[in-house]
Amino acid sequence: MTGTLFGHRKSRVNLAIQENPKCLPMLVLELSMQTGKLLQDMGLGLVRIALECEKNPSEKIKLIDEPIWTMYCNGRKVGYAVRREPTDDDLKVMQMLHGVSMGAGVLPGEGGAAADSAADGEMTYMRANFERVVGSKDSETYYMMNPDGNSGPELSIFFVRV
């Protein structure tokens, strides 16, 4: 699986999960953290994101199709994550990154000569391979895989229906 975290530094971070970098996203979530804050946390070490939703026995939908999630980052509740359909802007980012299998960087903004508007227009991204582990119909985990294979995952994303 390919996971891409992207967003403007001062806006919320988005998570897109794809079968591979050339496919359309099977999941796009808007997370309740600012992109800059998530990057700062990742710079400090391991980041664990837990996304929880309530189990509703009358509804039979796939776990990743749940519309809203309570979000925890490293054990602290940080708000909510919302599933949404990919926008044209999301698809444009995926198209720009289709040749990138893993890496991090900044995509240039559109226009704006002033330094402040240029910084706001830049899109920060991080893309990596993720190992998907299905625990049950109510739990899935995505572990970011390090290319060197030496240490454990720097980022883990847990989806749990409780």
Write the pLDDT tens digit of every residue in 15-58. Answer: 999 999 989 999 999 999 999 899 888 888 889 999 999 998 88
pLDDT confidence of residue 50: 98
Q: Where are the beta strands (DSSP E) in 54-108?
A: 68-73, 76-83, 103-107
Give the separation between CA 119 and CA 14, rounded to whole angstroms: 18
Q: Is the four-CA dihedral 135, 14, 51, 60 of positive or negative sign?
A: negative
pLDDT confidence of residue 113: 46
Domain layout of the chain by residue ranges: 2-161
**Contacting residues for 136 by C-beta, under 8 A, at least 6 apart:** none
Write the pLDDT tens digit of every residue in 54-84. Answer: 998 888 899 999 999 999 999 999 999 999 9
DSSP element (H, E) containing 90: helix 88-96
DSSP element (H, E) containing 126: strand 123-136
